[in-house]
Amino acid sequence: MRTVSALIFVALVALTGSSSAAEAPDIARAQFCTAIVDREPGDAPESITAGLQTLYFFTEILNGKDSTVSHKWFYNDVPIADVSLQVGADRWRTWSTKQVWHLAPGTLKVQVIGPEEQILSEKEIPLQK
């Protein structure tokens, strides 16, 4: 009888997924901006004008303490940067930057990539003359 009970217990543990992978962090906000003020995005432009020196990508992460996310930057769908960001608390605001003054008109994109290499968020912004 103990053997049957032990087998049932093992089967239940397997079915409930007690060894499941950690859940992906949640992205509360993800946006381009031209400045960070007091750990918040200073604006939310719909496009970027040529001549701008630095572009920021701001991300607010929930439930991601002690994980790592990354910002993968693309220019016209070509990868140009991959920035690893440590998440230090259950609510964490972070950002990465890219110098864009030298880029011709096109499209910038950032993907927020989770610890399991999944895309958590993706945003695009046009770069205009």
CATH number at residue 124: 2.60.40.2550
pLDDT for res 9: 45
pLDDT for res 52: 84
Measure the N-to-C terminal CA separation of the chain; round to a whole number of Å: 78
71 occurs within a structural domain: yes
Contact indicator for 75, 90 with CB cutoff of 8 Å:
no
Q: How far is it, in rounded angstroms, from Cα 79 to Cα 32?
A: 17
pLDDT for res 46: 95
81 occurs within a structural domain: yes
Handedness of CA 49, 56, 34, 63 (dihedral sign): positive
30 occurs within a structural domain: yes
80 occurs within a structural domain: yes
16 occurs within a structural domain: no
Q: Are strands 119-128 and 48-49 parallel, antiparallel or unpaired?
A: parallel
Whole domain around residue 30: which residue ranges?
Answer: 24-128
Residue stretches of the chain with pLDDT short of 70: 1-22
13 occurs within a structural domain: no
Residues 6+ apart with CB under 8 A from 119: 111, 112, 113
90 occurs within a structural domain: yes
Q: What is this structure's pTM?
A: 0.81
- Indicate the number of domains in the chain: 1
Q: How far is it, in rounded angstroms, from Cα 116 to Cα 23?
A: 9
